[in-house]
Chain A
Amino acid sequence: MSLMFILFGGLAIGCALAVVLQRNPLYSAISLIGVFISLSSLYLMLSAPFIAAVQIIVYAGAIMVLVVFVIMLLNVEAEERKRPRLTFLFPVAALLAFVLIGEVAFILYSVKPARTPGPADIGLTKSIGVGLFTTYLLPFEITSILLLMALVGAITLARRTEILSSVSRLMTGPYVPPPEREEPIIKAVEETS
């Protein structure tokens, strides 16, 4: 079990570092999917199979698909090299981060007694369903209204200026830039400041 924790934890940390260090956003997205899959395996080790499956369905299978779509549709390019500004502080920051994590680990080791992960019946679908529909019914209903708000918001934001555009027009072509104006509004503001 410890070996599997070290394996999946190391994979999660490696993919997380790749998310931050990669310059091409598509590679960052693929590394983030790797983080989600290793976290899902860690949830399985913690006897939470429902949360592990929902993590794959929601995060790796829906949210990241949306992010990858946006990256492909907007044709995002890789960032260029960092401009040289205060880069000498990065090793100092890394050292301080290690010190902080060491302190946290020391506190956790000296305070918590050793235990084992829970039995397998607290993470089953049935117990989550019971909790969600009896004790936590109000958050559940509020979450459904939140999703409705997100649906309306996303459709309103991503729509073009015509009121009656149909679904098919969102996907029948690559990104088309807005029509040219003689004086772009944004540049006019910047020139006067």
Chain B
Amino acid sequence: MDNPLIHSLLVIVAITIAFLSIMLLVAATVLAERRVLGFIQGRLGPNRVGYGGVLQPFADFIKTMMKEDLVPDQSTKFVFLLAPTVAVITAIMAIIVYPFGPTINLPFIGPIALRIAQFDVALLYVLGVTSVGVYGIALAGWSSNNKYSLMGGLRSSAQLISYELALGLALIGVILMSGTLDIYEIVQQQSGAWGMHWNIIYQPIGFIVYLIAAIAETNRVPFDLPEAETELVAGFHTEYSSIKFLLFFNAEYINMITVSMLATSLFLGGWNGPGVATFPILGLFYFAGKILFFLFLYIWLRGTLPRFRFDQLMNFGWRFLMPLALINIFLTATVQAYAGDFLNLFR
């Protein structure tokens, strides 16, 4: 009687801690983006609210919450309310499969594993949740009753479904090498040997394809045509204000974080790093550090690159990225089939 109840309680505690830290990380990313973009563009970002601007995201939050919540006068109010909800729920659902660190030994409680859930089809779950996240944008564009929003929503959905194909195909290389869909196992297989087992060494093409597809999946520069302010009047979230806009905004940043978590778990070795075997708590800091590196990469790209046009974007996704991912699968499968035992000596 105790075991399922205590297990459920532990899972709820883990989910709460993970959710709160992701929310804080979103706030920090919002601030970091504005400051780092400022430095790239030769100016200081916001640094007046709090010490060095630390309270800026909270000030933004209070300001946006106080705005008037407009709902366009048309008959699909239910879908108008459903769309940001779907976007944020599917964004935050993806965080439960990632291992935040190895199993640590607390002095009074015993060993606890730093993860929320471990199941056999974790990677398929992540892909499924990403696929359902397309509805948030498509339904938002439709229910705004505004032809610019509809065009922005349809373009963004087309971009998302094109690049999620390349994203899935890029992950197949890692799955072929690891032999499992469970992210915990994949991270476990990358431990030891001074970082030479990290999948990025064996799957460089897969990593590049995954990174580009992930930037397109999260609607970030250079793929942010559907939601840029100078194009299509801010795209699918034109008609959203106040808290619904905040939900979309949050969904985008949480998507960035989950995609970075997937990249670090699959390619950069997750919580592995020097000294994790002796001090397991260091794994948490290595994981966080790698995620912060990816977030900095996102912000750096935003400050540096111009935007793709829509037909360039679709050409790039279908005619370059997907064949490259397929070539990666063929190469990986060939090497694994003929030289698999030889390769496994290194891993």
A and B pair up: yes
Closest A residue, CB atoms, query B175? A125
Total of A-B residue pairs, C-beta within 8 Å: 83
Query: Residue A161 at the B interface, CB < 8 A?
Result: no
Q: Contact mask B155-192 → A, CB, 8 Å, 1/0?
A: 10110010000000000000000000100000000000
* The one of B119, B132, B141, B181 that contacts A61, using a Cβ cutoff of 8 Å: B132
Query: Residue A7 at the B interface, CB < 8 A?
Result: no
Query: Residue A57 at the B interface, CB < 8 A?
Result: yes
Query: Residue B205 at the A interface, CB < 8 A?
Result: no
| Alpha-carbon separation in the docked complex, A85 to B310 (Å) | 49
Report whether B150 and A174 are in contact in the complex, using a CB–CB cutoff of 8 Å. Answer: yes
Report whether A53 and B125 are in contact in the complex, using a CB–CB cutoff of 8 Å. Answer: yes
* The one of B120, B134, B150, B315 that contacts A167, using a Cβ cutoff of 8 Å: B315
B residues 132-167 near A (Cβ < 8 Å) are 132, 134-135, 138-139, 141-142, 147, 150-151, 154-155, 157-158, 161
Query: Residue A39 at the B interface, CB < 8 A?
Result: no
| Alpha-carbon separation in the docked complex, A168 to B141 (Å) | 19
Q: Known contacts A73-B154, A125-B120: does B138 contact A68 (CB below 8 Å)?
A: yes
| Alpha-carbon separation in the docked complex, A174 to B79 (Å) | 21
A residues 27-60 near B (Cβ < 8 Å) are 27, 30, 33, 49-50, 52-54, 56-57, 60
* The one of A50, A65, A168, A174 that contacts B124, using a Cβ cutoff of 8 Å: A50
Report whether B135 and A62 are in contact in the complex, using a CB–CB cutoff of 8 Å. Answer: no
Residue with the greatest number of chain B CB neighbours at <10 A, chosen from A62, A65, A172? A65
Could you tell me the distance in whole angstroms from the C-beta of B232 to the nearest C-beta in chain A? 12
Report whether A65 and B154 are in contact in the complex, using a CB–CB cutoff of 8 Å. Answer: no
Question: For residue B161, which residues in chain A have a CB less than 8 angstroms away from its CB?
Answer: 62, 65
Could you tell me the distance in whole angstroms from the C-beta of B109 to the nearest C-beta in chain A? 28
| Alpha-carbon separation in the docked complex, A49 to B121 (Å) | 7
Report whether B131 and A53 are in contact in the complex, using a CB–CB cutoff of 8 Å. Answer: no
Residues of A within 8 A of B (CB): 26-27, 30, 33, 49-50, 52-54, 56-57, 60-62, 65, 68-69, 72-73, 124-125, 166-168, 171-174
In the A-B complex, the 3 residue pairs with the closest CB atoms:
A61-B131, A168-B311, A53-B124
- Sample of 11 A–B contacts (CB below 8 Å): A27-B78, A53-B127, A54-B124, A57-B124, A57-B127, A57-B131, A60-B128, A60-B132, A124-B120, A167-B318, A172-B311
